[in-house]
Structure 1
């Protein structure tokens, strides 16, 4: 009956729950059982009445976390902190690689490379080299 509202309510609550998907699924089960009990006792009640009883998503998450053992909550928060640090480290590494590529591009750009065996001159600067003398032939 109120499945759509329950789903949206649970989705808004996820940010307050440590532990990722498993905690969100456990919380959804908890909220659905609370909702079933509430709407069995008061079948004519609106969803807003249910929300008024259990509170905002943040309050409901806080209540749910108070029911869990302290070690579980601490483990989930530690895991979340490690994931955040890993994401920040990966982002910094990507930025460092990007900066290295940009520096390499600008440092190598316009460098003349002479291949000794073929006598070919590669110039990546885009300048007109038609006025330059041709190199002497390679004698083998």
Structure 2
């Protein structure tokens, strides 16, 4: 079993402005590497999904939690959940949004989501 050391966490209002704040928070904690650049992109996607689709968007918050195992970085976005679960959109029609889960699944080493006993959604990804 992997042991994760928490690097830090931040709780932010579920508003579009908080997505860039979450990226800046991660940049302060992480070194300046390709892994950090990838993490910031995927953090933007996960936080945007929280702001747009979760019940947190109704005046709530989301939390970004960053952890390190020594070999991998784990990023987790926790929000109030929603009636639907994160899903990859299929199809080839051009669109301006809807690629977040695809980016996470493609660029992360591992990814997924869990719902806790209170209904909060934990969307996570790991980058080796």
**TM-score (normalised: structure 1):** 0.30
Larger proportion of helix:
1
Higher gyration radius (CA):
1
Q: Which has the higher contact order (CA 8 A, sep 6+)?
A: 2
**TM-score (normalised: structure 2):** 0.32
Larger proportion of strand:
2
